Amino acid sequence: MISVVIPIYNEVALLPRLHRELAAALDGVGEEWEVVYVDDGSSDGSLQAILELQRGDARVVAVELSRNWGHQPALTAGLSTARGHAVVLMDGDFQDPPAVVPQLIAAWRAGAQVVVAARSGRRERGFRRVLMPLFYRVLHFLSDMPLPLDAGIFGLLDRQAVDAVNRLGESNRFLPGLRAWVGFRTATVLYERGGRAEGEPKQSFWRLLRYALDAIFSFSYKPIRLSLLLGGLVAVFALLYGMSLIVCRLLGLGMFGRPVVDGYTSTIVSILFLAGVQLISVGILGEYIGRIYDEVKRRPLFLVQKVHRRAP
Ligand code: UDP
Ligand code: MG
């Protein structure tokens, strides 16, 4: 069986068409399926619309969340509810076209356990158009492990990968990152990301910013290491500059043709040197905090693909 998980927040205008197109796409695949709609605390009657769909189609599963939790928590809820051998994650606003879902399933049948739908183009509007590709590039540069460029949550996970992702208990979730982190045989399907079919995006700028920071800080130590690097550079500079000042002072030479003012040497050298020491200390603290962060995330140390044993 194949499950499709879709988070829904105030999408009442889109739901009937979404389900119609999805059902048509899934019926062509020739496999049993269910669609898990996660109502993320909608206030426009989306839940009633989902239940209405369910009355007409027993393959609809509705998860009603207690309030609006956000895109990633809603997807996580759906992921733990889905019962399929393969689970497709997608948005409910047609930016992830239902027609692409059979391609994901085909890649899964061909042996992939994780199928990433990557955007060959996008039709976003406003700040999303500029900032989203930029974000993915910054993340790609910063991240401690390779994350696919221009891939959001749209994709497919087989049961083994779903169970692995469900084991990850961290609360600042960036699913595209977690999906890459669990590994397994991965395939990529390219698709043209459409514009939103109707209405305005339901995630605010601040939500997306927070999401971007979650992504960077859950997958990278580099921001912390920056202060260590900076501290090292300042300290080395202070040392060289200080030594040259001291030498000039002792030999009674001026700096740049002028006599050195009394007290300047000791003041500037101690300021520079202490600044370097402080930055290095912050960096060292950061290294410890980074490790504490890793420990509290409690990600498994490894995931086994398969244990191969020879039959006796
Ligand atoms: N969504 C949700 N909870 C939220 C915000 C959005 O479940 O708090 C759903 C929304 O209904 C849609 C998907 O998540 O199906 C993607 O949201 P949207 O298109 O608004 O955001 P985008 O990522 O395009 O900015
Ligand atoms: Mg959208």
Atom of ligand 1 nearest to the CA of 8: 11
Residue with CA at minimum distance from ligand 1 atom 16: 91
Ligand minimally distant from the alpha carbon of residue 8: 1
Q: Are residues 171 and 227 in the same domain?
A: no
Q: Are residues 30 and 153 in the same domain?
A: yes
Q: Are residues 211 and 118 in the same domain?
A: yes
The residue segments making up the domain with residue 265 are 222-297
DSSP 182: H
3-state secondary structure of 278: helix
What CATH number is associated with residue 34?
3.90.550.10
Q: Are residues 72 and 209 in the same domain?
A: yes
Identify the pLDDT of residue 257. Answer: 66
Q: Are residues 210 and 274 in the same domain?
A: no
Residue with CA at minimum distance from ligand 1 atom 19: 201
Q: pLDDT tens string for the chain (312 positions)? A: 999 999 999 999 899 999 999 999 999 888 899 999 999 999 999 999 999 999 999 999 999 999 999 899 999 999 999 999 999 999 998 888 999 999 999 999 999 999 999 887 777 777 777 788 888 888 888 887 888 777 889 999 999 999 999 988 888 888 888 999 998 999 999 888 877 777 778 787 888 888 888 888 888 878 888 888 888 888 888 888 888 887 887 887 766 667 667 777 778 888 888 888 888 888 888 888 888 888 888 888 777 877 878 888
Ligand minimally distant from the alpha carbon of residue 73: 1
Q: What one-character-per-residue DSSP string does 239-261 give?
A: HHHHHHHHHHHHTT--BTTBPPP
Q: Are residues 278 and 304 in the same domain?
A: no
48 Cα–ligand 2 center, Å: 21
Identify the pLDDT of residue 299. Answer: 84
Ligand minimally distant from the alpha carbon of residue 37: 1
Q: Are residues 211 and 242 in the same domain?
A: no
Q: Are residues 44 and 186 in the same domain?
A: yes
Q: Are residues 8 and 126 in the same domain?
A: yes
3-state secondary structure of 214: helix
Atom of ligand 1 nearest to the CA of 201: 20
Q: Are residues 152 and 283 in the same domain?
A: no
Determine whether the shortest distance from the Cβ of 41 to ligand 1 is under 6 A. Answer: no
Closest CA to 207 of 77, 39, 40: 40
Q: What whole-number distance in Å separates Cα of residue 114 and Cα of residue 256?
A: 64
Q: Are residues 147 and 73 in the same domain?
A: yes
3-state secondary structure of 121: strand
Q: How many domains does the structure of the chain reveal?
A: 2
Cross-sheet strand order for the sheet of 60-64? 60-64, 33-39, 2-8, 86-89, 151-158, 114-122, 186-193
Cα–chain center distance at 43 = 27
Q: Are residues 205 and 226 in the same domain?
A: no
